Each structure stands twice: as C-alpha cells, then as structure tokens.
Amino acid sequence: MFENLQERLGAILNGLTGRGALSEADVSAALREVRRALIEADVALDVVRSFTDRVREKAVGAEVLKSVKPGQMVVKIVHDELVEMLGAEGETIDLNAPAPVVVMMVGLQGSGKTTTTGKVAKRLSERQGKKVLMASLDTRRPAAQEQLRQIGEQVSVATLPIVANQGPVDIAKRAVQAAKLGGHDLVILDTAGRTHIDEPLMAEMADIKRTSNPHEILLVADSLTGQDAVNLAKSFDERVGITGLVLTRMDGDGRGGAALSMRAVTGKPIKLIGVGEKMDALEEFHPKRIADRILGMGDIVSLVEKAAETIDQEKAAAMAKKMQAGKFDLNDLADQLAQMQKMGGMGGIMGMMPGMGKMKDQLSAAGLDDKMFGRQIAIIQSMTPKERSNPDLLKHSRKKRIAAGSGTDAVQINKLLKMHRQMADMMKAMGGKGKKGGMMRGMM
C-alpha cells in the first residue's frame, strides 16, 4: 500500500517542477493522491473532504522551498496539517481531582476496554505509585468480571470483590465507596460493551456516569474501526460525553485513520494507544508518528524538513555575522520568536519534557505562555522597517501607535524592548560565538 502510493505520487511529484509559489494545479494533483492515501488509511470521507479543503487553502500560494519539488512541498503541508489536527503531544490521563479519581472506560465489545483498564492500572501504580482499584461493570458477559480479576492479579492491582446479582450502576457505587474507604487514589470502571451502538448501552453508560461522577471518560476504540469510527465517537460523545480517546491495536496493520476521524468529530484528545496484548503494551500518543503512518510518506516529510533546516541554517549563519558586528535588531528577534513558535511554543517545548505540567502552569501564571510569542511578534510587526532596525527611534508617540496596532500596551512594548536590549548586549559580549540554542536559552 505504502509503496504503491509512493510510486503513484512519485510520478506526480516529478511532473511538478515549477518554482516559486505552489499553483492551484500543483496542489490539486498532489491532493488527489493524498485523498486516496487518507481513504486507504480509513479516514472517514467527511473528514477527508474537510481536511483536503483546509490543506488546499493553506497550500495554494505557499512558497516552495529550495531543493524540493512542489508535490513534496504539498505532502509536507498535508503532514503538518495532519499533525495539527491529531492534536497535542503528551496528553495523559488527568488525575487532577479529589481522590478517589474515577476513570470510566467506554466502548464497543472487544475494543480492548478490559485490557486497557489493566494496562492503565499497571502503569499508574508502577510508574506513579498510585493506589488503584479496578472494577468490572460488565454483568452481561459471564466471565467478564473474572477476566478483570485475573488481570488484577497479574499486574498486582486490587479489583473490587465480585458480588453476584448486582447491576452495573450498583457495582459502580460500590466501587467508588470501596475506593474511598480503602484510600485509593483512583478507581477505574471497566464497563460492558455491545457489538454495536444501541440505546440501552448508551442509557447504561449515562446512568453509570450519573452515579459515579467520573473525572475521565475514555472511549476505547479499535484502530481498525474504519468508517464507523465517526459514528462511534459521535454517539458516545453526544450521549455520554467523553474526555479522551484510547486507540487500541495500533500494533496491527491499521493505518490509524480512525484516530484522525474520531479526533476530528469530537475534538477530544487521543490520550493513549494500545500496541499489543501484553499489559505493558501501552504508549503515549505521538501525533507525528500517526501522521506518518496515515500518510505513509515519512521520508518525503523528512526530506522537506531537511530542506527547511538548511534554510534555517543559512539564516542562522547570516545572523551570526550580524551578531559579530554587534547588530541584532528587532527583525532578528522576530525571527527567533517565530522559531520558538515553530517548536510548538512553550507548550511544545515543555511537553517534550516529562513531568513539566506544573512548571507550565507557573510559567503561564507569569505571562510566559504561547500568547506571549504571538504578542511579541505582533508588536514587532506593527513597527516600521526603520524602527525595527533602530529601536532607539521608539519614543512615546511611536509606542502609542504600535500599541494600538498590535493590541498591546506600552508596558508590554517596553518589556519586549528590554528583552531585546539584553539579548543584543549578551550577543555582543559573546562576540558571535553563541549558537542558536544559546540564544533561545538566554531568552527563557
């Protein structure tokens, strides 16, 4: 499948050799193949349509980087858009609530709810030292509660004692009560599924939700779900309200199209993926990996990334020269800020480091958040070219004009100018020895 697409695209990519901006024709030709790739990856048709529309809008008129072909450029734009649509990296189960935090697993029969319950329990108890209680609310399948009990034994996590002839809502109540009494940090409710969505199932889920007040409701879905993914996610979200998605069987040959569909219709984050039957076959979700998989064109993407890097390197070299000459103006600062935004802003940078959630909150309390980059870039963009290369021109009246133009105020402008002055001084002191990374560190 992968090779075929490469071959098909290869011809088109080679055919498009224009330079400069991407034309409507370039984009359409490449998008035709991309659309096929998405459909083959089982992305729902509606989602494919709205997705390709968005890409078309972004791609037509976009500059083609030196040393790449227009078709390759389109693929890169498609890839970036996929990553964006798939959502943020590093989303995890949110346990930020009074104990016992209730986590409820919902989904169709066989989607992997019970297995995922065990995997999540194992991970949280082993890695975070959480005291976890698991409870099976599946009274429909005779062996279901016993299945979870055995998993509990296997991963050394407590399960709620089985009591005969109790309905799911009563079991849920009992589980929350037991977790409270037992001093558990969290309780995971493993619910029953059906082979398809029906009203009794939804009503049961809604009842369980009402009585147990879960902090997280995770829709567990098989990544091979295909075109049904949209209906599945929509129904569960509309009827029960989900807080996140877990995609199972990502170890199989599915291409992850369901991830995109479900994320697109619900807007809910994909929090974890299952990659096998074993109890530790659970991974964090990496949008870039899934995008590669859906598109099956990872090498084209890295090719274009390399081309973009080369340009960044050329820019960095030019900047080093300016620094040596003691010239680092606001244009350069704007470039730096844009670079940081490209790295995913504060969230992206912090998201790459585990356990940084708290620090992120502190930073944002200090006003050092993603909006900061955008604000600072807006301030610089509101300046005239002369002002940008000579910030000394910026007296009171000019600042007023810039504040109005960028929707900021004099305090924020002064802050930016001060930061720029400090950076420029620092660079002068470094005498051009500094590298890009050093500058960014200096800023933070």
Q: Which residues bind ligand GDP (CB under 6 A)?
A: 107, 109-115, 193, 248-249, 251-252, 274-277, 281
The site partner of 274 among Mg ion, ligand GDP, none (C-beta below 5 to 8 Å per kind) is ligand GDP
**Would you say 248 or 336 has its CB closer to ligand GDP?**
248
**Would you say 107 or 214 has its CB closer to ligand GDP?**
107
Least distance CB 113 / Mg ion (angstroms): 5
**Would you say 192 or 394 has its CB closer to ligand GDP?**
192
**Would you say 113 or 122 has its CB closer to Mg ion?**
113
Q: Look at residues 294, 333, 315 and name the one whose alpha carbon lies nearest to residue 439.
A: 333
The site partner of 107 among ligand GDP, Mg ion, none (C-beta below 5 to 8 Å per kind) is ligand GDP
The site partner of 110 among Mg ion, ligand GDP, none (C-beta below 5 to 8 Å per kind) is ligand GDP
**Would you say 113 or 268 has its CB closer to Mg ion?**
113
The site partner of 212 among Mg ion, ligand GDP, none (C-beta below 5 to 8 Å per kind) is none
Using CB positions, name the residue nearest to ligand GDP: 274
Residue with tokens 């930020």, as numbered in its chain: 96
Least distance CB 91 / Mg ion (angstroms): 24
The site partner of 276 among ligand GDP, Mg ion, none (C-beta below 5 to 8 Å per kind) is ligand GDP
Residue pair 26/16 in contact by the 8 Å Cβ criterion: yes
Least distance CB 287 / ligand GDP (angstroms): 18
Q: Look at residues 36, 74, 76, 83 and name the one whose alpha carbon lies nearest to residue 56.
A: 74
Least distance CB 42 / ligand GDP (angstroms): 17
**Would you say 92 or 109 has its CB closer to Mg ion?**
109
Using CB positions, name the residue nearest to Mg ion: 114
Cα separation, 40 vs 236, whole angstroms: 25
The site partner of 61 among Mg ion, ligand GDP, none (C-beta below 5 to 8 Å per kind) is none
**Would you say 144 or 379 has its CB closer to ligand GDP?**
144
Least distance CB 153 / Mg ion (angstroms): 16
Judged by the rule CB under 5 A, the positions of this chain that interact with Mg ion are: 113-114
10 Å Cβ neighbour count for 53?
11
